[in-house]
Amino acid sequence: MKSNPKFIFFTDFDGTITQQDSNDFMTDTIGYGQDKRREGNIACLNDSISFRDSFQDMMDSVTRPYDQCIQYVVDNVKLDPGFAEFFQWSLKNNIPVVVLSSGMEPIIKALLKKLVGPDAEKMQVLGNQVGPRDGKDINEEGGWTILFRHPESGFGHDKSIELRKYSSLPEDQRPTMFYAGDGVSDLSAARETDLLFAKKGHDLINYCARENVPFTVFEDWTNILSKCKEIVEGKATVQEAAKAGFEAYKSGAAGVNVKEATK
């Protein structure tokens, strides 16, 4: 807030800034596999298990040394199209970008350094940490575990806590808040922003439709950049954008099954 921005963009990292979710990727390929991981995701959406417990179970299945995990995702995970252009536009227009992630900060920062370059240091990154298991080093087989930012929360990292620091500001100081996400880790943030960008075809859309949370759909960051430009330039409002997103969902253009989402 030092530069008195009129807009702030908060974003999930895995599967939102990147094409692949690094944690899902590790679980699917060197952990217990995609089928069991999806069972956990669906259980979260149905409120039968907390995200924290599901995510802990996922990460416990990945036993490769942590330095090898970092290298593995850096070698395989790609940047979402349009994000680099969006980020450069945000820097020029005094729009801070804050990453709120349920992933682990060391992996996120390593990926951003490779995918975005030196300017990545201008992004604030808030995620979970990693620590050693008893008597072990994180860089040995089965030696690490995730350390949650908010271990008392069912989310592990309750993103709404950070968002409320801004949404609770006096009206003359409060910036317009954007948020982009794709999945179950973003549920705590969905209601706490002025305009929610939900990724086409992903679980966050199902949740927003079911809970009547306004959102707009994006396919990649070129869509986000275009919509943010319209809003910043006064050519559209966040309310209009959210209405358009829900209409896209109802028409079937959001990439999810309407009947499944509303069960």
DSSP per-residue codes, 46-109:
TTSS-HHHHHHHHHHT--S-HHHHHHHHHHH--BPTTHHHHHHHHHHTT--EEEEEEEEHHHHH
Give, as one character, the DSSP assignment of residue 150. B
- Judge contact between 58 and 31, C-beta under 8 A: yes
- Judge contact between 66 and 130, C-beta under 8 A: yes
d(CA 107, CA 129): 10
Please list the active-site residues. 12, 14
The contacts of residue 242 (CB under 8 Å, 6+ apart) are 195, 196, 214, 215, 216
Supply 221's token pair.
């960051």
CA 183 from centroid of its chain's CA atoms: 7
In the numeric block, the tokens 């030196």 are attached to 118
CB atoms within 10 A of CB 186: 30
